[in-house]
């Protein structure tokens, strides 16, 4: 297995940690990298504009992916439409464990 560090490119996030993904060395293709990365990060592959090997190299084809080494850092650069983020941050009331009645305390 090839272990890579992947995150979504977003300079506006205070915490933008990497996650580690594993790719089978027998299937080192751009398509497989995109599929696994999107699945792990919860992103629609259609929203990925490009994959960047940090600090500044765009991955374009299978040969680029085949040259990757363990623990290299990658970013998914997403397309944004209508000024809306592709990720909708859940509001407090949508989170599990939220108690609506407890939030409506009167003093």
Which CATH number fits the domain that encloses residue 48? 3.10.20.90
Domain-located, residue 28:
yes
What kind and span of H or E run contains 36? helix 30-41
Structural domain boundaries enclosing 7: 2-78
Q: Within a domain: residue 51?
A: yes
Residue 44 inside a domain? The answer is yes
The whole-model pTM stands at 0.71
pLDDT digits (tens, 9 = 90+) for 46-89: 999 999 999 999 999 999 999 999 999 999 999 875 334 444 44
**Is the residue at 70 inside a domain?**
yes
What is the b/e burial string over 46-76, where b = at least 16 CB atoms within 10 angstroms of the residue's CB?
ebbeebbbeeeeebeeeebbeebeeeeebbb
Beta bridge partners of 62: none
Label the pairing between strands 48-53 and 19-23: unpaired
Alpha carbon dihedral 43, 47, 53, 58, in 10-degree steps, equals 170
Q: State the average pLDDT over residues 19-45.
A: 94
Stronger pLDDT, 99 or 49, i.e. the higher one: 49
């Amino acid at each position: 297995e090839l272990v890579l560090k992947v995150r979504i490119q977003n300079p506006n996030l205070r915490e933008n940690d990497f996650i580690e993904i594993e790719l089978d060395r027998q299937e080192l293709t751009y398509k497989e990298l995109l599929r696994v990365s999107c699945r792990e990060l919860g992103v629609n592959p259609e929203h990925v504009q490009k994959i960047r090997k940090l600090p500044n190299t765009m991955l374009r084809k299978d040969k680029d992916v085949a040259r990757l080494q363990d623990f290299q850092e990658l970013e998914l650069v997403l397309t944004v439409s209508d000024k809306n983020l592709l990720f909708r941050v859940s509001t407090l009331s949508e989170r599990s464990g939220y108690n609506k009645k407890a939030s409506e305390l009167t003093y």
